Every structure is written in C-alpha cells, then in structure tokens.
Structure 1
Amino acid sequence: MRRSLITIMLVLAIGVTIGSLAYPVFYSYPHRFDAVKAAIADPGPVVNTPWGPLSAEDRDLVVQVEADGLWEISAGRQAVDRAPTPAIKEAGAELVSGHTDLDKRVRALAAKLAITLPTQPTAEQQGWLAQLTAAQGATYRQEFANLLREEHGRIFQQLAQVRSSTRNTLVRDLATVTNRTELEHISALEKTGYVDFDPVAHDTTASPAAVKTQVPAPSAS
C-alpha cells in the first residue's frame, strides 16, 4: 500500500514538472505569431529575408517600379492608339510590353517579400496622364516624349543606387532587369526626335511636369 502511494506521488510530481515546462511553450507560442505579424505590419528599416536583408530603400524601389508601370502602360497604350508618328507609336508599344513584363516580376517578388503594392498611379502620375490626354498635335508629341523621358531618367538613377547597395538578391535582380528595360525605353523615346535634352542635362531631379508646364491635379470625379 505504501509503495503504491509513493508511486502515485512520483507520477503526480513528474506530471506537474512536465506541465510547468510545457506551459511557457504552449502559452507563449501564439505571442510569437503576434511578433511576426507586427514585424510585417511595421517592418522597420531592415527586415531579414531568405534572400538577404530588405531595406526601406529596397521596398521603396519595388513600389516605385510598380507605380511607374501603372501610369506608363496607360500612356503607352494611348500613344499607340493616337499614333501621331510611327516613332511615338513604337515608343508607346515599348512602354506597354516592357512594363507588362516588369509588372509580373514585381508582383511575384512582392508576394515573396510581403511588400504591399499600389493599385493605381499616384496623384502626380494621374496628372501627367491627364496632361497627355488633353494635349493635341505637336504639343502632345513633345509632352509625351519629354514627360516620359525625364521620368525614366530619374528612376534610372534610383535603380543604379539601389542596385549597387542592396543586399537582397531578389531586389538586385529586379533592379538589373528594370535598368535594362528603362534604358530600352529611354532609347525609344529619344528616337522620336522630340526630346529636349537641355532640361534632362540641367535638372534631372525635377518633376518632369515642372520643366514645361504645371501638371493639372486629377479630377475629383
């Protein structure tokens, strides 16, 4: 009888010990998920990923490439439809094909790195589209070539900077491909014969709309 009582007490003691060890594991585990969710919602300056550290500059570039594609595809389609010259039509087709491919790449990358992408152009980009839509004749040809050429020039600089500094292999690959695509677009736009190189040379960081005319704000409707 005494041995049975001792055995029961030992079993109970072992059970209590196991329970006390398991308690922090089971009850703290959900909080670990909370920490992961918080890191995604507010990633901070750098997030570690399987493809290397992801910086705020890296994320900004991914978002910028997507935003540029959203308005440049629309601008390219408009140029193809209006086709004021064969060279502008060709440049528009280059914009559509290049950014359609980049869009697929960016979406695949963003899904892996948990980056939220824009779903429509920025207010400034919508303004540029409105400006192109309203322009006619020679004004349209000049604004199409210069707005897009100067915008490509700025993203070209951003790509070079991130490409040289990023430690994330996915972002580096995207920067390489985007760099090549942007250079093709720059060449196509310059072949239109309407690019004004003075603003490009003297003010590569200014808003493209500020070089010629003030871009109208997008309509509220």
Structure 2
Amino acid sequence: MGGALSLTLAALAYPSMLGLDTVSTSGDRIIANTQWGPLTESDRAFVVAVRAAGLWEYPVGFIGLQKGQSEGVKTASEHLIDGHAALDTTCRKIAPMLNITLPNVASPQQIGFVNSMNAKTGKDFDIEFANILRMTHGSIFNTVAKVRSTTKNTLVRALADQANDTVLDHITVMEQTGMVDFDQTLFQQTTPPKLPKSDMTPPPPPAGQPLIVLTPPPTATSTPVDIDAASVSGGGAAPAPAPTPTG
C-alpha cells in the first residue's frame, strides 16, 4: 500500500520519466499558459531534472575533492560544485513562478551512482567518477538541446541556455581527466538500462518541507540566470496558474 501510494504521488508531481531518459515524445502537452509562454510537460520535467541532477552531482563534487587522487578529478569536482550551485539557484527562482514542485532528493538511480562511487577508493574512484559523470552528462546533453530548440517558455529557455553551457563544461572536464573509456561510456549512454519509472524519478518532497539550497562556493565563477532579463517579455513575475488535473 505504502509503495503504491508513493508511486502515485511521484507520478502526480513528475508525470514524465526523468533521470537519463529523454523527454517524452508526448511531452508537448501544455499544462499551463503563463506570461512567459506556454509550459509543457517536457518543460516541467526538464526543470525538475536539472534540480535532481544537482542534488547528486553537487555532493559528488565534494566527495571528489576528498577522495580524488588526480588533479583532473579535483578540478572536475570543483566544476560540479560551481556549475550545479548556479543551476540550482536558477531552478529555485523560476520553479515558483511556473508553479513547479522541485524535489529535495535525487532519484534512486542517481543515488545508486553516488553509492557506486563511494564504494571505490584510490585510482578506482577516479575512474568510476570520470566515467559515470561523463556518461550521465552525455546522456542529458541531447535533451538540453531538444528543450532549448522547442520550448516556447522564456524562463525554461533561459535555464536551457545555462544548462547547455554547464553540461558541456562538465563533459569537457571529465574528458580532460584522461580516464574516460569512450567505448564503454558511449555504449552505456546510448543503451540505457530499462529501469522502472520509480527508479528514474526523484520523490516529491513532503508538504511544507523547505527546499535544500546548493550553496555556491566562495570562488564561484558560474552565474545563475538573470530572471529580470529573462522575463522582460513577460512584464512581471506572477506565478503560473495551477495545472488543471486530468483523468
């Protein structure tokens, strides 16, 4: 009963599969008309997916700084912390404007990635770190491009611009570690495991739970979206109307 209820709540909050899967082909259904443009299922799923990515990659950055053996891994770890803190700031700003519920915990699949890395030490950790993160960033890269090219929502478009730059940067620093096995990584990237939606979807937060904040590092160089500039065509910051429930 409890498991079934959890799945139902997750489906209501995040109707599209997230994680490494691409945005659903049916994701063009409009769920709200906002002053920043129509919001589709794919748009909402994308904002949630960016938030969920930060919820595991940001802490992995700190793990990499502690356990990493090579300078390449330590540099990549700094980029994870910096980039995802800035993306998270943008997500937390635009989510209430678009009436999007953000998770506070990554998906079970993403938590599994963290556990896999935590189980490694020494050079094995560095290799696991570089290959998992190169695979996950490569998997989401095409989704970012698809959302950027198709969304009609100004705020989602601005987040996609920022995500595109961040994901490309993270792909690059993972490759610069010199530890990426491209044959294996690209195979995993293009042949993802067939996992149930519950494994790919971050659970919705309990009602009233404050959002976890991914704090930018003191040396932050990544910049969140300028919401005022991104929403200039909308003429304000009123929240989107709640989506109409469907059967």
Same fold (TM over 0.5): yes
- Counterpart CA distance in 2 for 1:205 and 1:55 is 25
SS of equivalent to 1:54: strand
- Correspondence for 1:136 among 121, 128, 142: 121
Match for residue 107 of structure 1?
92
> CA shift at 1:203, angstroms?
4.5
Residue by residue, what CA displacement relative to the aligned partner does 1:24-78 show, whole Å, maximum 9, x if unpaired? xxxxxxxxxxxxxxxx989993110000000000001000000000000011110
Segments of structure 1 that go 5 or more residues without pairing to the other structure are 1-39, 211-221
Match for residue 195 of structure 1?
180
- Correspondence for 1:94 among 79, 85, 96: 79
Give me the CA root mean square deviation.
2.3
Residue by residue, what CA displacement relative to the aligned partner does 1:149-198 show, whole Å, maximum 9, x if unpaired? 01001111100111111000110110011100111111111111111111
1:138 corresponds to which letter in structure 2? K
Q: Between the two structures, name the one with larger relative contact order (CA 8 Å, sep ≥ 6).
A: 2
TM-score (norm 1): 0.72
- Give the 5 Å matches for 1:20-39: none
Tell me if the contact between 2:148 and 2:157 (Cα under 8 Å) persists in the aligned partners: yes
- Give the 5 Å matches for 1:4-153: 45-46=29-30, 47-153=32-138
Tell me if the contact between 2:138 and 2:189 (Cα under 8 Å) persists in the aligned partners: yes
Tell me if the contact between 2:13 and 2:101 (Cα under 8 Å) persists in the aligned partners: no
Matched pairs, number: 170
TM-score (norm 2): 0.65
2:132 corresponds to which letter in structure 1? L
SS of equivalent to 1:204: helix
* Structure with bigger gyration radius: 1
- Counterpart CA distance in 2 for 1:185 and 1:198 is 19
Segments of structure 2 that go 5 or more residues without pairing to the other structure are 1-11, 16-26, 196-247
Residue by residue, what CA displacement relative to the aligned partner does 1:12-34 show, whole Å, maximum 9, x if unpaired? xxxxxxxxxxxxxxxxxxxxxxx
Richer in helix (by share): 1
Tell me if the contact between 2:95 and 2:101 (Cα under 8 Å) persists in the aligned partners: yes
